[in-house]
Structure 1
């Protein structure tokens, strides 16, 4: 799922899921929302970033889900 990939990308920049401040989920079939929400809740247990969920007609490569995340990063 996209959350696993996003988590790895965050770690590459020395960030983690607690640094995520906003998530946008693009879902091609709202019938999948309950399952997607269950998986999402496994990643964001106590930290709950702002979230928007949008149903779209189609995603690239006929994907069922596209995830966009914004994370905060401390710059010294």
Structure 2
């Protein structure tokens, strides 16, 4: 099985030598994603709620680009700069993941590479296109 790597053309450019998506068969990995608005190239806001909403919107677009949905997500990793932002991130997260609740890990970190980012998330998903 081969691994395809790419960044959808309508998404912001990664800040390093990596792709947003790696896919092999039904397995999908999405790289660490900050809350960047692709239309502007800027952070979606200065608060954790706005940035979390943007990350989750970006995830939806990335998954759709490979024929998957948020319901196909198995595990989400969240990296927070400030534990005080946990509730704001959770509020945005709960608005998107309502009935399908993938496994999740939240880790507090000292810093993030994207200037202005309060958090970043990555995920793993499994998509069966035949299940439609």
State the TM-score, normalized to the length of structure 2.
Answer: 0.55
Q: Determine if contact 2:81/2:111 at 8 Å carries over to the other structure.
A: yes
Provide the alpha-carbon RMSD of the alignment: 1.3
Larger relative contact order (C-alpha < 8 A, sep ≥ 6)? 1
| Runs of 5+ consecutive residues of structure 1 not aligned to the other structure | none
- 2:77 match: 24
Q: Return the index of the structure with the highest Cα Rg.
A: 2
Which is richer in helix? 1
Instruction: Give the length in aligned residue pairs.
Output: 76
Q: What does 1:1-76 align with in structure 2 at a 5 Å threshold?
A: 1-62=54-115, 63-74=117-128
SS in 2 for 1:47: coil
What is the CA–CA distance in structure 2 between the aligned matches of 1:65 and 1:4, rounded to whole Å?
15
What is the CA–CA distance in structure 1 between the aligned matches of 2:128 and 2:64, rounded to whole Å?
14
Deviation at 1:74, TM superposition (A): 2.5
State the TM-score, normalized to the length of structure 1.
Answer: 0.93
What is the CA–CA distance in structure 1 between the aligned matches of 2:83 and 2:96, rounded to whole Å?
20
